[in-house]
Structure 1
Amino acid sequence: MPLITVGVNHKTAPVSIRERVAFAPEKMVDALSSLLYEKTANEAVIVSTCNRTELYCSVEDVQKADEVINWLGQYHDIDAVDLKQYCYTYCEDDSVRHVMRVASGLDSLVLGEPQILGQVKSAYAVSQEGECLGPELESLFQRTFSVAKRVRTDTAIGENPVSIAFAAVSLAQRIFADIRNSTALLIGAGQTIELVARHLKESGVKRIIVANRTLARAENLATELNAEAIMLGDIGDYLSQADIVISSTASQLPIIGKGMVERAAAKRRHSPMLLIDIAVPRDIEPEVENVKDAYLYTVDDLHSVIEENVRARQDAAKAAEQMIDEGVDAYRRTLESRKVSNLIVTFRQSAEEIKNTELEKALKGLEMGQAPEQVMNKLAHGLMNKLIHAPTRYLRAAGAEADQDALTIASNVLGIHEEKDN
């Protein structure tokens, strides 16, 4: 059955549309069941994230794509005509290629981001749980996961950080031999610092201190990550304990000055301190870079790293696209092989039915007292006539049409060769 993909993403639809067509996790099985119950699709997987909502379907006909869009609009109470302008549709090999690119991070807002593979796997598992998968999508997603794993393993698509938060933490990991023995002081409690905190936690940093002007906000983040919360005014007391300082606030004036860092460095007995200022305006006085054993990096330093890494990811993406092309070809061969397998099974079943029919006749003949030799001759004759009936008809029809190609193929299939006159 044909495969189609219908969806909207960050490239085609604003967030105001994406949020309206998003599926709540607890409603996903019901949505899939509705899609299949209404005969819009025979099998379906729905991937729904902040950047995309996509429906991967096995359908009777590719024209069903319009029906899928209509269903999506009805389910979310959006006029289908309005929705269609934001939707894209892929069919067959293009659909296969698209899901593989999505799972590999090649279609993401941030090229190569790793989270999408887990989200696609979760969507597959939900569909499996809701019994909305069949042989078509089962085979497709297994092949997709294999290709995505190969892309992750054999290319550098996800190795280089391309976000400010991740780049900051990666810089710290490069400077400290083992970040797990380090203490990190994070200044601010906004989204960027929250991402930094999560990356640090994942990297196994020993201790995290969160400083913020509002203690409650610092405590909320600290509680979630098993960190410590302090007021902004207490930074001077804790700075000497920090190996890594990452700051991102909305302050219009510097929070950390050269004198504060000098005092902290003296207490640390000149143990290296990394300071990363990702705020604009800056949170850390530029003169801090003159303090011995204090290493200051700004958001511009990180941007240059990110630009290099984006180029590296783009180079890796070229290799990944080649792997995806190979994956599409392999999936297509699997489908063709399955068709041949089904044909072989049908052929064997037909031969089995002929065998059983003729054998039943032979056994009845023996029960009626017919001579064994006579029964065997009838059995052999009946089997031969029925097994060659269809090929004989095909050969006669091809001969009547003078279809030499068909005759050649039939000769090869039947393992016979026409004897030529001398």
Structure 2
Amino acid sequence: MTLIAFGINHNTAPVEVREAVAFAPEQMQQALESVRQNAKVREAAILSTCNRTEIYAELDGTDCVALLEWLAQFHQTDAARLTSCHYSYVGLEAARHMMKVASGLDSLVLGEPQILGQMKSAYAVANDAGSLGSQLHATFHKVFSIAKRVRSETAIGENPVSVAYAAVSLAQQIFSDLKKDTAMLIGAGETIELVARHLSQQGLKKIIVANRTLVNAVELAKQFDGEAILLADIPEHLHRADIVISSTASQLPILGKGAVEAALKKRRHKPMFMVDIAVPRDIEAQVAELSDVYLYTVDDLRDVIDENMRSREQAAKIAEEIIEEGVNSFAEDLRAQDAVATVKVFRQSMEELRDVELAKAQRLLQSGADPQEVLQQFARNLTNKIMHKPTQQLKKASIAGDYDLIASMHRLFELDIAGGENSAPRDIDKSENS
């Protein structure tokens, strides 16, 4: 059985390919059943996010062609489309890859925390579907353990490295409890959507989306149970906002000093936090002159992001060391499992020999044979049978010059040969030529 990590991600495939092989949550049960039947895998789990689709499996061999063909067939796409953009890892490399993914080292944004939860969800879904066996269970638990160490022993996920997240983090520094605050988001593009998502996750009380096109504002606002207004309505509602974050494509400022001053008067000069992510700027620079306004521009955020990225890169080096420790520990676990399997087979074979000789001894006792002689014969026969196969193999090893096997026998049984030597027999030919 071989551990395999197979998939595509943001580094190997464009978004149109990633979309083509993504799994919706409602497809997972069917997909896990299908991959085990059609790709002939013993165990399987599937991780599917916007940036990656990966299959973790236990195979009889190391050939991943069946997985590629199954993935293409399941999603009714051309297998050739995936040939140049897929990757596969085998054995310990597969375990190392899974640890990197779970720790955020393989993410589009270094150290992003969501991936660990997504991998845990993939494990839970596969477990519920009955597609996990002992090997993948053990692998996932080791992966989660290492990812937890990376999170707790490094700062890889502590500092924001996206403009949207940095803006929200600054807001949290100024407003300790966002559950009491209202945010006005100006624009309805991808960055503003990310800001809205981060704010919503922090439990923000209210979101107001202002946009040039009301339909787009409504569409975004309803995702977060918010309110939609037009840009022209901003002065009427601005006083309600504790937080203002703006990101539009406007060539002229949308929010001027006069409008902010009027809003502050209505707020009785309660502080306002503003972030202007737009280039050109949406908020007039003079707004920063107002004593009750904390105004940050995209350049202010970039300084924070660059510093945080450097911090994450340093943390990633420590994380790599933790992962290597995890891979080594995983390898030791696998070797221990091999030893347990070997001991189990060895014990079974010895017990079979014992039972055969014991049955013979019992028959002799029942026929009236002398018990002392029966015991001696039982011990003699059992010893001879236990010694037979090892003796034959040692003779063959000696003839073939396989002294490693003989030395292993010395270590295994702690043998003390004549003269107290515990090494392999001397290489006579080499000694004579020296």
TM-score (norm 2): 0.89
Q: Shift of the alpha carbon at 1:30?
A: 2.4
Write the deviation string for residues 236-263 of structure 1: whole angstroms up to 9, x where unpaired: 2332232211122343432221011112
Q: Report the secondary structure of 1:55's partner residue.
A: strand
The answer on whether the counterparts of 2:46 and 2:56 sit within 8 Å (CA) in structure 1 is: yes
Write the deviation string for residues 209-257 of structure 1: whole angstroms up to 9, x where unpaired: 3334455544444444344444433332332232211122343432221
Q: Report the secondary structure of 1:19's partner residue.
A: helix
TM-score (norm 1): 0.92
The 1-side partners of 2:6 and 2:325 are apart by 23
1:91–1:280 distance in 2 versus 1, CA, 3 Å: same
Moved more, 359-368 or 347-356: 359-368
Residue 302 of structure 2 aligns with which residue?
A: 303
Q: After TM superposition, which residue ranges in structure 1, 4 or more long, deviate above 6 angstroms?
A: none
Q: Shift of the alpha carbon at 1:399?
A: 2.9
Mark the runs of 5 or more structure 1 residues left unpaired by the alignment. Answer: none
Percent of residue pairs identical:
53
Write the deviation string for residues 252-305 of structure 1: whole angstroms up to 9, x where unpaired: 432221011112223333332111112233221111111222121112221222
The 2-side partners of 1:249 and 1:81 are apart by 40
Amino acid at match of 1:18: R
The 2-side partners of 1:387 and 1:68 are apart by 46
Q: Shift of the alpha carbon at 1:172?
A: 0.9
The 2-side partners of 1:288 and 1:231 are apart by 21
Moved more, 217-226 or 16-25: 217-226
1:26 aligns with 2:47: no
The 2-side partners of 1:350 and 1:302 are apart by 69
Write the deviation string for residues 326-366 of structure 1: whole angstroms up to 9, x where unpaired: 11111111101110111111111112222222222222223
The 2-side partners of 1:130 and 1:356 are apart by 42
Write the deviation string for residues 176-210 of structure 1: whole angstroms up to 9, x where unpaired: 34444433222233332222222122223334333
Residue 430 of structure 2 aligns with which residue?
A: none
Amino acid at match of 2:267: R
Moved more, 233-242 or 150-159: 233-242
Q: 1:159-308 to 2 correspondence within 5 Å?
A: 159-215=158-214, 217-308=216-307
Residue 143 of structure 2 aligns with which residue?
A: 144
1:191–1:61 distance in 2 versus 1, CA, 3 Å: same
Residue 355 of structure 2 aligns with which residue?
A: 356
The 2-side partners of 1:212 and 1:77 are apart by 39
Mark the runs of 5 or more structure 2 residues left unpaired by the alignment. Answer: 421-434
1:182–1:25 distance in 2 versus 1, CA, 3 Å: closer
The answer on whether the counterparts of 2:254 and 2:283 sit within 8 Å (CA) in structure 1 is: yes
Residue 93 of structure 1 aligns with which residue?
A: 92
The answer on whether the counterparts of 2:39 and 2:67 sit within 8 Å (CA) in structure 1 is: no
Residue 58 of structure 2 aligns with which residue?
A: 58
Amino acid at match of 1:26: E
The 2-side partners of 1:295 and 1:255 are apart by 17
The 2-side partners of 1:381 and 1:209 are apart by 91
1:80–1:39 distance in 2 versus 1, CA, 3 Å: closer
1:127 aligns with 2:113: no
1:39–1:204 distance in 2 versus 1, CA, 3 Å: closer
The 1-side partners of 2:207 and 2:69 are apart by 50
Write the deviation string for residues 36-82 of structure 1: whole angstroms up to 9, x where unpaired: 223542222222222112222222222x1223223323333333334
- Equivalent pairs counted in the alignment come to 420
